[in-house]
């Protein structure tokens, strides 16, 4: 059943009303970018959104991501894959989570919470087991997501950090900037918007992000009338969320 939900985002005295609907399917994780939506269900099956329906993509993954650098994923055995001409190519490296939302760069974390990224040239040409070439980023994170100009990471303790001056030719960026709050995951949209989910399943949006203040100024809670979430992603003005039970919510 599709359920219509109204939510209100409050920040600094302003409010925005969004209309949300539950869409068919149950997923574990979802990612949207450049008008495309990919998801992994509770059994590891991979899907992409075709209009109002989910289309099955061959393969079984633990995490999938889509962005300017293409469609990437990691298996439950941490092997890294990229969708090349309709088939999954096995690439070099072992990762737990990968993100292709940056400016044609790819980044991710391994089982030891080490952080890696691929510059634009390495990412867009990756198609075989001997590619791509990685750059190690100082620090430890268990989740890492990139957008235009910055990447955001979550530490093992749930602390959140912004990685500054991330560029296509220098994906490692310049330095970490600690941002207040404790979260379980964070996602950066293709337009630079940042959303995060805390340990209680509550969704927040980072507001006040600008060229002078890439880390933003504060978190604004998005109220969902008691619903709790495990994953969030945003693209082209649309917010996609996965509830704890796998139900999918789309907000516009």
Q: Output the domain CATH number for residue 242.
A: 2.130.10.30
Determine the pLDDT at residue 9.
52
188-189-191-194 Cα dihedral, nearest 10 degrees: -40
Mean pLDDT of 173-189: 96
pLDDT band per the 50, 70, 90 thresholds, residue 224: confident
pLDDT band per the 50, 70, 90 thresholds, residue 100: very high
Residue with token string 């939302």: 101
Write down the mean pLDDT value for the chain: 92
pTM score: 0.93
Sign of CA dihedral 51, 54, 56, 59: positive
Expressed as residue numbers, the domain containing 94 is 4-251
**DSSP-assigned states of every residue in 122-162:** HHHH--STT----EEEEEE-SEEEE-SS-EEEE-TTSEEEE
Determine the pLDDT at residue 12.
44
Mean pLDDT of 44-59: 96
% of the chain surpassing 70 pLDDT: 93
pLDDT for 154 beyond 90: yes
For the chain, what is the domain count?
A: 1
* 186 contacts: CB under 8 Å, gap ≥ 6: 143, 145, 152, 153, 154, 160, 194, 195, 196, 197
Mean pLDDT of 101-127: 96
pLDDT for 231 beyond 80: yes
Mean pLDDT of 83-99: 95
């Amino acid at each position: 059943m599709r359920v219509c939900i109204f939510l209100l985002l409050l920040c600094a005295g302003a409010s925005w009303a969004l209309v949300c609907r539950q869409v068919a399917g149950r997923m574990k994780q979802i990612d949207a970018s450049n008008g495309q939506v990919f998801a992994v269900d509770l059994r590891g099956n991979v899907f992409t959104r075709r209009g109002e329906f989910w289309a099955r993509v061959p393969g079984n993954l633990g995490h999938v991501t889509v962005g300017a650098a293409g469609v990437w994923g990691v298996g439950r055995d941490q092997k890294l894959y990229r969708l090349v001409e309709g088939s999954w190519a096995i690439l070099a490296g072992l990762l737990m989570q990968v993100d292709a939302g940056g400016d044609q760069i790819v980044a991710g974390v391994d089982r030891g919470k080490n952080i890696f990224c691929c510059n634009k040239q390495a990412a867009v040409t990756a198609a075989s087991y001997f590619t791509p070439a990685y750059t190690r980023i100082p620090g430890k994170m268990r989740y890492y997501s990139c957008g235009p100009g910055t990447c955001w990471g979550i530490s093992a303790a749930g602390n959140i950090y912004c990685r500054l001056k991330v560029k296509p030719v220098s994906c490692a960026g310049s330095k970490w900037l600690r941002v207040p709050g404790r979260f379980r995951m964070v996602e950066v949209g293709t337009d630079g918007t940042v959303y995060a989910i805390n340990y209680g399943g509550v969704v927040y949006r980072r507001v006040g992000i600008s060229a002078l203040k890439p880390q933003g100024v504060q978190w604004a809670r998005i109220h969902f009338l008691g619903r709790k979430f495990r994953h969030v992603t945003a693209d082209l003005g649309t917010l996609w969320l996965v509830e704890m039970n796998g139900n999918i919510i789309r907000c516009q």
